[in-house]
Structure 1
Amino acid sequence: MKEENLIIREAMQQDEEIIAEYLCQISFDLGCPARSIRHNWLEKTTQFIDYARRELHYKGFIAELSDEVIGSACCQIFELYPMVSDQYHKGYIWGVYVEPAHRRKGIATQLIQRAMAT
């Protein structure tokens, strides 16, 4: 079931905090206890996202429904050796998160597809 009025857009610098919050929430969803999360997790995560955007070919994507952020995904292109062809890109998609009330509706799939098209 697709959500009407869903927008998948490239994340902007002002979206870094919500992406960081979602990355932390993924840890909780995987069973990580709150006491194991570092006190400065938000600062560390937003610093990494900023650095990755500038230096590591990072892009983030935001899912919005009726002007409300309901999910995100991150991706990076890695070149472990010189790429001699423009046809292939190697990278990672990580940190895919959708708010629980909006899961099982294809939103994560759309986030991943957008990241893969980058």
Structure 2
Amino acid sequence: MDALDEFKLASGLTPSLPKSTAYFCNVLNHVKIAILQVLPFEEGSLSVKYLGVPLVTTRLIYRDCKELVERLSNRIKDWRNKSLLFAGWLQLIQSVLSSMHIYWASVFILPTRIVHDLEQLMRGFL
């Protein structure tokens, strides 16, 4: 609690304690219980999303990134009926679809299969 109070003083931000969750990795059970008795948090478990990307403790696998492929595919389906010139399609790919891919790639090293699937979707759309 002292660390949270120090964070509050240093940053001017106040954490929302009722909305907060504690996640543990490689912590002994008695230490975990002691921490949960001091902090008013519930214990959470992975898999959880933060800013739209899954938080995982290991390397990303295809199943973890399947949502990105589906979101990109759904976005393309929504745009299929738009009547744009080639330059318009290219601009949509560069500004929207590529940015979704780049955002995930800035957080994780994406599996090669996912990158291939994303590029295939974008090529097919163009």
TM-score by length of 2: 0.25
Structure (1 or 2) with the greater strand fraction: 1
Structure (1 or 2) with the greater helix fraction: 2
Specify which structure has the bigger relative contact order, considering alpha-carbon pairs within 8 angstroms and separated by 6 or more residues: 1
Larger Rg belongs to: 2
TM-score by length of 1: 0.26
